[in-house]
Amino acid sequence: MPEHTLKRFDEELERLSATISEMGGLAESQLARSLAALRERDTEAAEKVIVDDARVDALDEAVQEQTVRLLALRQPMAVDLRVILSSIKIAAALERIADYAKNTAKRSIVLSQTTPPAAAVTGIERLGRLVRAALKDVLDAFAHGDVAKARDVWERDEEIDQVYTGLFRELLTYMMEDPRTITACTHLMFMAKNIERAGDHVTNIAELVSFRSTGHGFDEARPKGSAAIYATPDAPAGTAP
């Protein structure tokens, strides 16, 4: 390619990465605000999360448009092709994370009409903090091409799964001991599953960060409970755990 064409191509790749970083920051904010709405029983904040999901969807569409243009007009190869293909999958993962945040916000509105066990809500918050921290770190790894940091995030998925499993059992215990908590705890179960699935998508992004730089993910067996990058699409946010 002529030098000016290569420069234009590099600029388009940078713009694509910037769009994904913006999308990631918004998904991170959506998850944080949905958890805050649950904790504070703030229905207005929850409604704002639901409305703002459209912004994430718009950025996802922008990524798709940019990648199609790059593939059609530039015919990239090797590293550039990996960057573009991984961008499509990272954007899809971020869109799903934002969907799970939206669903958490929806259920927090319903829960505001009940009195869920305080300890169970605290458990949801703990799970959410783990996923939020992992999301922040994987976005940093993406921004800097830091494969080592991405691997650290990938390895932390097992802890998220363990916390989720413990929380699920705790919620079952509440429901068995006091049937009056069944409605609230059922909503909390859905929320916990949504947050755990968001964590799985964070793990997928970590592998894609590695793929962008090295051409492969992590060779070891994936942490317990994580979803494979090329697995079939997961169920819509809010389906039964």
Tokens 């958490």 found at: 104
Residue 239 has pLDDT above 70, yes or no: no
pLDDT at position 189, please? 97
- In this structure, what token pair is assigned to residue 182? 């069944």
Instruction: Answer whether 132's CB lies under 8 Å from 31's CB.
Output: yes
Residue 241 has pLDDT above 60, yes or no: no
pTM for this predicted structure: 0.87
In a 10 Å sphere around its CB, with 0-12 CB exposed, 13-18 middle and 19+ buried, how is residue 143 labelled? middle
Torsion angle, CA of 116/96/24/66, rounded to 10 degrees? -160
Confidence of residue 235 (pLDDT cuts 50, 70, 90): very low
Residue 204 has pLDDT above 50, yes or no: yes
pLDDT at position 206, please? 97
Cα-based distances in Å from 20 to 84, 89, 126, 175, 231: 11, 11, 27, 41, 22
- Least confident among 94-103, 122-131, 141-150, 217-226: 217-226
Confidence of residue 62 (pLDDT cuts 50, 70, 90): very high
Across the chain, what does the average pLDDT equal? Answer: 89
- Least confident among 3-17, 42-56, 59-73, 171-185: 3-17
Domain ranges of the chain: 3-230
Instruction: Answer whether 155's CB lies under 8 Å from 223's CB.
Output: yes
In a 10 Å sphere around its CB, with 0-12 CB exposed, 13-18 middle and 19+ buried, how is residue 29 labelled? middle
Instruction: Answer whether 124's CB lies under 8 Å from 164's CB.
Output: no
Q: Within 13 Å of residue 33, how many CA atoms lie on the same side as its CB?
A: 21
107-113: average pLDDT: 95
| CATH class entry, domain 3-230 | mainly alpha
pLDDT at position 5, please? 60
pLDDT at position 230, please? 35
Query: What is the Cα–Cα distance from 224 to 162, expressed in whole angstroms?
Result: 9
Most confident range, picked from 7-21, 46-60, 77-91: 46-60
Kindly report, residue by residue over 72-96, the tens digit of the pLDDT. 877 777 788 899 999 999 999 999 9
Residue 191 has pLDDT above 90, yes or no: yes
